[in-house]
Amino acid sequence: MPTITTKDGTQLFYKDWGPKDAQPIVFHHGWPLTADDWDAQMLFFLSEGYRVVAFDRRGQGRSTQTDIGHDMDTFASDTADLVAALDLKNAVHIGHSTGGGVVARYVAGAEPGRVSKAVLIGAITPVLGQIESNPTGVPLEVFEGFKVALARNRAEFYREIPSGPFYGFNREGAVVSEGLIQNWWRQGMTGSAKAQLDTITAFAETDFTEDLKSITVPVLVMHGGDDQIVPVDETARRAAALLPNGTLKVYDGLSHGLFATHPNLINADLLAFIEN
């Protein structure tokens, strides 16, 4: 399996498809998933002539299941190590949910010439949880409940999330995909429970306000209007207002996992943003 080694010796599994001289698009997965979550986007952009890269964050999937470093600064540092190892320049970085936070933190401090554009899909930016700097956020008790459920019966918890709010399959009239549910469960169960537990704190309590303010490249903020995991008013609308060069696109009625349930729609809008 292709891997790169980070500064602290962690091995990150990655996929790198397409012409090496083409513009790269780097995909950052959400919690508690893997690079496999981007299959529909990777195949689409590969067919459009792009170089597509996705990787499993530390603790997830095929990367080292280290018990340390499950915080946004380390995730951004790992991203920089991957970018340097593959010598990616003028790249578009696309992050979903927790991966959106990683993109914000990485892009804000990226070396000149490494990043051309960024996309935040259902992202946790600027702040998701109710911390001192964000009194209107999601109460931290919600995330403590996630930790309890994970520690008690991770396998069952990882069935409940995709079967219900993640893809909006708990909504009346929803067209339920057992394949998406099982694939979500499969990805989650390959990762480290310790890493996934620690990352709950990272995605709930990290404040990306200053990161967003400092990003000068164009950023597209995409969000489902019926996102039950990361509320759009608390995150996407505020994030877009903080970005110096941000554009907001809200999809009425769509869920947190909108790029998986509606890949044709999201892929077309991503392509338009990247090419314009």
Strand partners, 53: 16, 26
Residue 211 contacts residue 104 (beta carbons within 8 Å): yes
Dihedral of alpha carbons 275, 231, 125, 101, sign:
negative
Q: Please list the active-site residues.
A: 97, 227, 256
Per-residue pLDDT of 239-267, as tens digits, reads 999 999 999 999 999 999 999 999 999 99
Per-residue pLDDT of 21-42, as tens digits, reads 999 999 999 999 999 999 999 9
pLDDT the model gives residue 174: 97
Q: Name the band, by pLDDT with cuts 50, 70 and 90, for residue 64.
A: very high
d(CA 137, CA 83): 32
Nearest CA-CA partner of 185 in 4, 36, 56: 36
pLDDT the model gives residue 150: 98
End-to-end CA distance of the chain: 35
pLDDT the model gives residue 122: 98
pLDDT the model gives residue 22: 98
Tokens representing 136 are 């209107």
Q: Name the band, by pLDDT with cuts 50, 70 and 90, for residue 90.
A: very high
pLDDT the model gives residue 52: 99
Query: What does each C-alpha distance from 171 to 15, 29, 31, 122 come to in angstroms?
Result: 34, 24, 22, 18
Per-residue pLDDT of 141-198, as tens digits, reads 999 999 999 999 999 999 999 999 999 999 999 999 999 999 999 999 999 999 999 9
Strand partners, 77: none
pLDDT the model gives residue 142: 98
